Structure 1
Amino acid sequence: MTGKQFSSVWLREPRKTTSPGRSREEIIAATLELLDAEGLNGLSMRKLGAKLSAGATSLYWYVANKDELLELVYDEIWGDIELPDPAATHWRQGAALLARSMRAAILRHPWSADLIGRMAALGPNALGLTEKMRQMFSHAGFAGLEIDYANSTLTAYVFGITIPEVAWNNTMADREYDPEEMRSALIKAAADFPDLLASADQVIDAEPGEMRAMAFEFGLASVLDGLERRLVT
């Protein structure tokens, strides 16, 4: 029995431009702008064609379908992520910069959170970053499959804490909750849980962005501490 054939825009040579201003780069840039403004639900070949002053049909010269278009633009996100030369930077410093940059890239382009885990990252930016990450953990002292495990541990932490943040930001953008009403609701819900209530008071009084950033840094340090501990045991 043969499975369904896997296809990707990255598995074939890009087609040459057929008209001025219709290069793959132009299409990617316009798609990024549209996604950042309207999200995944706001993207259509018709809208993109209108933005480029071209018919939707002409876009199919470059991509077979909408998923291929998303593959192209998804790889741009990976190109936004910073990672210094693994041979010239201590691995903890490099990993911390990578994690912060990855979180920032996802928050800048919140639609990308919906593609993580369901769209293959086979573009040159994604593969190049993965290669540098492997080099970073190899220089740190990991070997064999542990290099891949360290990679997945770090990225899973960033994805795990950032994707819910994106979902919450999207929810808050759609609903203008009154802060005092939210405070009263939380206090009422936590009335039978004194420890949680005491913690909730601290959280309510804090600036949400600062709290999330602090939580991210705490978790990041803990993950890096854990990885470093494995190197000395």
Structure 2
Amino acid sequence: MPVDKKQPIPSVWTRPQRRKREQPALSPEQIVSAAVRLLDEEGIDALSMRNLGTRLNAGAASLYSHVANKDELIELVVDEVYGEIEVPEAGARADWRSAVGDCAHGLRTAILRHPWMASVLGGVGMSYLGPNMMRISEAMLDVFQKAGFPADEVDHAVTTLTAYVIGMTTSEAAWLTMLARSGNDEREWMERLWPAAEEAAQDHPQLREQYASLRGKDPREMRDDKFAYGLQTVLDGLAGRIVRMSE
């Protein structure tokens, strides 16, 4: 499809809305909902306008009346997933850690519920212009500002938190995707992996000790604990910034 010279940046959020001469057979909500289901069931490699059209029993024209291409479709489904995240309000300055922590856990939960998200987040063009992402960003900026961060640091604080969550969760999503493809349960897979891991660690005493302490633990609980530890460390660092600025 040729590039619209009136559109400064290619994105579903910057493209001028087309005039509809007649009511399309499909709504944007139907298209996005079906795309999310396709991605959840078959993964990112299965997403194409043709496959989506087949699922919806619709021709390409019905899709292109709302979405110019696959890139725009991905922008829409990513924002749809962001819509699952709730951002609580920080009623008082002391509540900011709880509010930020809840949002961080919400983002992690959304990505792990839709593991394909991890493979597209870094390449989604104008995802921050989507209505749900704008809602989250506005709320997070408000929370950090009420926490005591100056205006020129609020965005840095939000970016730092988001980078931690996405960085940790991307690895988790890749791991869960591999497990899903293998058809193995996480606990069973880990039990099968331990002997090889322990054998490989024979010449590394620190690793041997660590593996011995982890053997038999629930791998999901270990992932939760690691995420919570890192999140609290990030929040401790941000809290330290507030203290130092107030001195």
Under a length normalisation based on structure 1, what TM-score does the superposition of the two structures give? 0.92
Matched with 1:168 is 175
Cα separation, partners in 2 of 1:184 and 1:76, compared to 1, 3 Å: same
Structure 2 residues without counterparts, runs of 5 or longer: 1-6
Matched with 1:85 is 89
Aligned residues: 229
- Per the TM alignment, residue 6 of structure 1 is displaced from its structure 2 partner at its CA by 1.7
Q: 2:107 aligns with which of 102, 123, 132?
A: 102
Matched with 1:139 is 146
- Per the TM alignment, residue 81 of structure 1 is displaced from its structure 2 partner at its CA by 1.0
Structure 1 SS opposite 2:123: coil
Matched with 1:39 is 43
Letter in 1 for 2:158: N
Query: Would the aligned equivalents of 2:83 and 2:133 in 1 still touch at CA under 8 Å?
Result: yes
Letter in 2 for 1:55: G
Aligned mates of 1:39, 1:149 — CA distance in 2: 32
Confirm whether residue 220 of structure 1 aligns to residue 231 of structure 2.
yes
Matched with 2:155 is 148
Under a length normalisation based on structure 2, what TM-score does the superposition of the two structures give? 0.87
Query: Would the aligned equivalents of 1:86 and 1:132 in 2 still touch at CA under 8 Å?
Result: no
More moved, 69-78 vs 199-208: 199-208
More moved, 22-31 vs 168-177: 168-177
1:1-233 aligned at under 5 Å gives the runs 5-11=8-14, 12-13=16-17, 16=20, 18-20=23-25, 22-87=26-91, 90-119=95-124, 120-121=126-127, 122-175=129-182, 176=184, 179-233=190-244
Structure 2 SS opposite 1:136: helix
More moved, 210-219 vs 51-60: 51-60
Aligned mates of 1:135, 1:221 — CA distance in 2: 20
Aligned mates of 1:14, 1:92 — CA distance in 2: 43
Cα separation, partners in 2 of 1:140 and 1:189, compared to 1, 3 Å: same
Aligned mates of 1:183, 1:66 — CA distance in 2: 41
Tell me how large the CA RMSD over aligned residues is: 1.9
More moved, 196-205 vs 171-180: 171-180
Aligned mates of 2:60, 2:74 — CA distance in 1: 15
- Per the TM alignment, residue 211 of structure 1 is displaced from its structure 2 partner at its CA by 0.4
- Per the TM alignment, residue 86 of structure 1 is displaced from its structure 2 partner at its CA by 3.5
- Per the TM alignment, residue 180 of structure 1 is displaced from its structure 2 partner at its CA by 4.5
Q: Percent identity?
A: 45
Letter in 1 for 2:17: E
- Per the TM alignment, residue 220 of structure 1 is displaced from its structure 2 partner at its CA by 1.0
Deviation string, structure 1 residues 14-61 (Cα, Å, up to 9, x no partner): 6657334x0101111111111111111011111111111111232111
Cα separation, partners in 2 of 1:24 and 1:181, compared to 1, 3 Å: closer
- Per the TM alignment, residue 87 of structure 1 is displaced from its structure 2 partner at its CA by 4.2
Structure 1 residues without counterparts, runs of 5 or longer: none
Aligned mates of 2:206, 2:239 — CA distance in 1: 33
Cα separation, partners in 2 of 1:223 and 1:178, compared to 1, 3 Å: closer
Aligned mates of 2:212, 2:18 — CA distance in 1: 55
Query: Would the aligned equivalents of 1:81 and 1:105 in 2 still touch at CA under 8 Å?
Result: yes
Deviation string, structure 1 residues 138-178 (Cα, Å, up to 9, x no partner): 00000122101110111111011110011111122233475
